[in-house]
Amino acid sequence: MSLRIDQDHTRFRSIVRGKIRDNLKQYITQGELIGKQGKGLVSIPVPRIDVPRFTFGERDAGGVGQGPGSPGDALGGAPGEEGQGRAGQEAGEHRLEVEVTLDELADLLGEELELPAIESKGKRRLATARDKYTGLRRVGPESLKHFKRTYKEALRRAIASGSYDPRLPLVVPQREDKRFRAWSSAEEPAASAVIVYMMDVSGSMGDEQKELVRIESFWIDTWLRRQYKGLESRYIIHDAQAREVDRETFFSTREAGGTMISSAYQLCARLLQDHYPSEEWNTYLFHFSDGDNWSMEDTLSCVTLLRGALLPRINQFGYGQVESPYGSGQFLRDLREHLGQEPRLVTSEIPDREGIVQSIRDFLGRGR
Amino acid sequence: MAFLLGKTELPRYLRVEQGRVEAAARACGLDFFPVVFEMLAYDQMNEIAAYGGLPVRYPHWRFGMEYEQLSKSAEYGLSKIYEMVINNTPSFAYLLEGNSLTDQRMVMCHVYGHVDFFKNNFVFRSTDLDAGERVLAAAPAGSDYAPNRKWIDKFANHAAAVRRIVERYGLEPVEAFIDDCLSLENLIDPYSRFLRRHRAEPVGEGEEEPLEVPRLEAKPYMEDFINPRDYQEEQRRRLERERDEQRGRFPAEPTRDVLAFLLAHAPLERWQRTVLGVIREEAYYFAPQAQTKIMNEGWASYWHSKLMTEHVADWAEMVDYAENNAGVMATSQGRLNPYKLGVQLFRDIEERWDRGQHGRDWEACDDLDEKSHWDLRRGEGRAKLFEVRALHTDVTFIDAFFTEEFAIRQGLYTYAYSRKTERFEIESREFVQIKQRLLGQLTNHGQPLISVTDGNYGNRGELLLKHEHHGVDLRRDYAEHTLRALGRLWRRPVLLHTALEGRPTLLRLDGGELRVEEASAP
């Protein structure tokens, strides 16, 4: 049942949406949203929207309370106990937790960063059939009988044949009155996509660097999920060797070894080959590292892998280089030098949290 | 009710219950308007609660915000609205679908308490309407008191008027204007409906009447001693000076009904006047409820417990009832619960007047033992309660009946924010302090006292408001935003005279720029 207040509620939601959009960059850099994910929902703290009035501040005014305790005790708590509730609540009073769906959040991201919609490449090739009720027919199973239309037909026949009596409005449908729902199958294009995240977990990648990657991958996920119905994410970590891990491990692992980036690219190529044929899947690869590869030799084999096995079959390869005190950042320069002309390769530098927004724009701004 | 979608009529078994409760209430001496109960699903309940109880309101996002918060906390099981009742004739009250019979009975009893209060407490007279839906000047009521309070209709008409304006001028400007008006919503003068703050100036022609200097009565031969001539002369000059000052002043005397002043004098467009008028009328409608929160809830709770335990509930329900009642009366985190404070104070009054624990002898007695056994068997408690519920508001209620014994028995204290430990702490259990704090918070139902003192400040058409500072500062950021809203209505610089951190301060908003100046003491 629709409520009268829906209009006001919608209006409030749109005001909140505006607030979130205004502060989106701040949310992106703080990364606090990631921890607040529920099922398809994110709860976002927005500054409390309030009608200001001439009024007293509660801190100045104090109040009258009731209960046990002696002067100096925290309100509502036993002596010595941390001032539960009230002091904390007061700080929280100015914040309003609003839940938005991830889709909504993605739209906001798109609006704010002016991201283009993605042109899917797999659309034409992959389709699924869906059944939809589209019309009526005269025969069918009883369970699909359309009562209203059947009644109408019966009534029409009754009136036409003169057997309808308004004082005793009894209408008995007969076989030819019956109408049944009919369906037709429609081919619906389905686009599915896979993202493979790769990350350097060698000793030089610190916690802050990983946090940058975590935040950025959250937003990339959110955006691509909005664009494709079925999105899969795979995670590969590497130091001198690469292995596939789950999301949890991806962000928590820290190794001490050296760095051979080609190992990750190799694993990735194998993964794609085995599970994600390029004609069915939109494929996105993201690799994050501090740009310190083991040797020039390995870098060259990376370039070869990219040129030969990866780039031809994917939508986009994104290389994000986070700045770390130990990384030389050489890999980025090498990539640009060897593959600078490749349209499917996007490189981006993420110096700090402020840089995340620009980096997202780099990666997603091409609409691929 | 046509305002509500869907079926809201009470089921038969509850109509039977309503009959029982109503009969019991009447037998106990309650005197109420007819009550219509509606049964609502929880989302409808949240909707109406978000609208402040009235089913149809003008469009505004804050109702949506209220709704969001209410439905969230209902979803998470943090809160549940049991009951709502509207000061209207007939009074509408809402029951929540799916509550147990015990709950519904308790709510009904509670509602009859409220409706009795609406009808009999004097401040609610200010919500009486005439046939044309205008607010009547409050008048003492006779025994056949049957006022017209068709506020549900009135609010619906307000909503229609604002909707028409929105259609014509667009949502955004109207909403922005409503936001500004709501910022000023609390700047009204609730008691103005009961008294004339200043006498109307007789508009006479010709010569002005000579000033009469008040003098003390004296025998002719004592005249020069009792009313010395030079003192009389001084008084005359002072009065003349005051009259001259007053003549140039606008408004002639400070007015606390800032909204009325703006309606009359701010450069508003027609539709803006309509909207501001709507908001002012609605603010006055809600004022009596804010002025009697403790009493109103206390009275209703007193009666639900009386009616339930003595007349309505079955024995089998007693435990359920007691649990619910305890929930209503619970204080959380040391905060004051108006239901509890109110009902305890009413019970205290009843006992004191039953036992004659008042008056000069009682006050003079300082023997604790004697006091604790004091019982004159007067039995005047119930009668006193009915009198109190008619003649008091929260301020006078606390002022007259809040005693030291009561404060101690109830375990009351004052609390304050401690900057050192960054938390709220219990401050004191001194009776005088508790009572002062309580009264301070209830005065002007907790709103700061602010009046228009000059509508032509500095002879530049600037608007000066003055805040009567009683020890607590205004919240600074809110004050600034509110001043900006006021500036948008007045369209000339606006000033607020207040005090911040112990210093008289003048906040001055001039063309979007806010300046804080040290002010001379008032």
The verdict on B256 touching A (C-beta cutoff 8 Å) is no
Q: Are B411 and B459 members of one domain?
A: no
Show which of A187, A204, A235 is a domain's final residue: A187
CA A3 from chain center: how many Å? Answer: 30
Q: Determine the Cα–Cα distance for residues B47 and B56; give it in Å rounded to an integer.
A: 10
Q: Are A238 and A262 members of one domain?
A: yes
Q: Determine the Cα–Cα distance for residues B21 and B304; give it in Å rounded to an integer.
A: 10
Closest CA to A181 of A131, A235, A106: A131
Please list every residue in chain A whose beta carbon sits closer than 8 Å to the beta carbon of residue B61.
Answer: 8, 11-12, 15, 49
Show which of A187, A209, A231 is a domain's final residue: A187
Handedness of CA A36, A37, A38, A43 (dihedral sign): positive
Range B456-465 average pLDDT = 90
Report the SS3 class of residue B473. Answer: coil
Amino acid present at A11: R
Q: Are A248 and A320 members of one domain?
A: yes
Q: Are A326 and A345 members of one domain?
A: yes
Please list every residue in chain B whose beta carbon sits closer than 8 Å to the beta carbon of residue A9.
Answer: 63-64, 67-68
How many angstroms separate the CA of residue B264 from the nearest CA in chain A? 21
Q: What is the pTM of this model?
A: 0.77
Q: Determine the Cα–Cα distance for residues B358 and B378; give it in Å rounded to an integer.
A: 11
Dihedral, A263, A268, A269, A275 alpha carbons, nearest 10: 150
Is position B14 within any domain? no
Q: ipTM above 0.95?
A: no
pLDDT, tens digit, 9 for 90 and up, residues A94-122: 467 777 888 888 888 888 888 877 766 65
Range A203-215 average pLDDT = 82
Q: Are A198 and A321 members of one domain?
A: yes
- Domain span at residue A173 reads 127-187
Q: Are A357 and A219 members of one domain?
A: yes
Distant-in-sequence, close-in-space partners of B305: CB < 8 Å, separation ≥ 6? B325, B343
Q: Which of residues 465-484 of B touch A (CB under 8 A)?
A: 467, 472-479, 481-482
pLDDT, tens digit, 9 for 90 and up, residues B298-307: 999 999 999 9
* Phi–psi pair at A346, nearest 5 degrees: -120, 125
Q: Classify strands A127-137 and A180-189 as parallel, antiparallel or unpaired.
A: antiparallel
Report the SS3 class of residue B83. Answer: strand
Q: Where residue A257 falls among pLDDT bands split at 50, 70, 90?
A: confident
pLDDT, tens digit, 9 for 90 and up, residues A134-179: 888 888 888 899 999 999 999 999 998 888 888 888 888 888 889 9
Q: Are A300 and A325 members of one domain?
A: yes
Q: Are B419 and B494 members of one domain?
A: no
- Domain span at residue B475 reads 448-518
Q: Are B423 and B337 members of one domain?
A: yes
What's the pLDDT score for residue B302? 96
Domain count within chain B: 2
Contact A55 B448 (CB under 8 A): yes
Distant-in-sequence, close-in-space partners of B119: CB < 8 Å, separation ≥ 6? B31, B32, B33, B145
Q: Are A181 and A270 members of one domain?
A: no
Is residue B230 over pLDDT 70? yes
Residue A260 and residue A202 in contact, taking contact as beta carbons nearer than 8 Å: no
pLDDT, tens digit, 9 for 90 and up, residues B112-155: 999 999 999 999 988 988 877 777 766 666 667 888 899 999 99
Domain count within chain A: 3
* Phi–psi pair at A63, nearest 5 degrees: -175, -170
pLDDT, tens digit, 9 for 90 and up, residues A48-57: 678 889 988 7
Is position B304 within any domain? no
Please list every residue in chain A whose beta carbon sits closer than 8 Å to the beta carbon of residue B482.
Answer: 52-54
Is position B217 within any domain? no
Show which of B406, B422, B443 is a domain's final residue: B443
Query: Other C-beta atoms within 10 Å of A143: how many?
Result: 7
Average pLDDT in chain A: 80
pLDDT: which is higher, B40 or A45: B40
| Chain A residue whose CA is closest to B450 | A54
Q: Determine the Cα–Cα distance for residues B16 and B27; give it in Å rounded to an integer.
A: 17
What's the pLDDT score for residue B4? 57
What's the pLDDT score for residue B82? 75
Is position B508 within any domain? yes
| Closest CB to B422 among A53, A61, A87 | A87
Name residue A199's beta-bridge partners.
A237, A288
pLDDT, tens digit, 9 for 90 and up, residues B484-497: 999 999 999 999 99
Q: Where residue A79 falls among pLDDT bands split at 50, 70, 90?
A: very low
How many angstroms separate the CA of residue A178 from the nearest CA in chain B? 32
pLDDT, tens digit, 9 for 90 and up, residues B185-206: 999 998 887 776 665 555 556 5
* Phi–psi pair at A41, nearest 5 degrees: -125, 145
What is the number of helices (H) and of strands (E) in chain B?
20, 10
Closest CA to A366 of A306, A313, A316: A316
Residue B158 and residue B281 in contact, taking contact as beta carbons nearer than 8 Å: yes
Average pLDDT in chain B: 87
How many angstroms separate the CA of residue A69 from the nearest CA in chain B? 7
Range A278-294 average pLDDT = 84
| Closest CB to A52 among B175, B333, B481 | B481
Residue B159 and residue A7 in contact, taking contact as beta carbons nearer than 8 Å: no
Please list every residue in chain A whose beta carbon sits closer than 8 Å to the beta carbon of residue B59.
Answer: 7-8, 11
The verdict on B307 touching A (C-beta cutoff 8 Å) is no
Report the SS3 class of residue A53. Answer: coil
Q: What is the largest CA-CA distance in chain A?
A: 96
DSSP, residue by residue, B25-46: HHHTT-----EEEEEE-HHHHH
Q: Are A350 and A212 members of one domain?
A: yes
Dihedral, B284, B345, B320, B76 alpha carbons, nearest 10: 50
Q: List the structure tokens of A36.
A: 């607040």
Contact A74 B424 (CB under 8 A): yes
Residue A46 and residue A95 in contact, taking contact as beta carbons nearer than 8 Å: yes
- With tokens 């505004």, the residue in question is B60
Is position A63 within any domain? no
Q: Are A160 and A228 members of one domain?
A: no
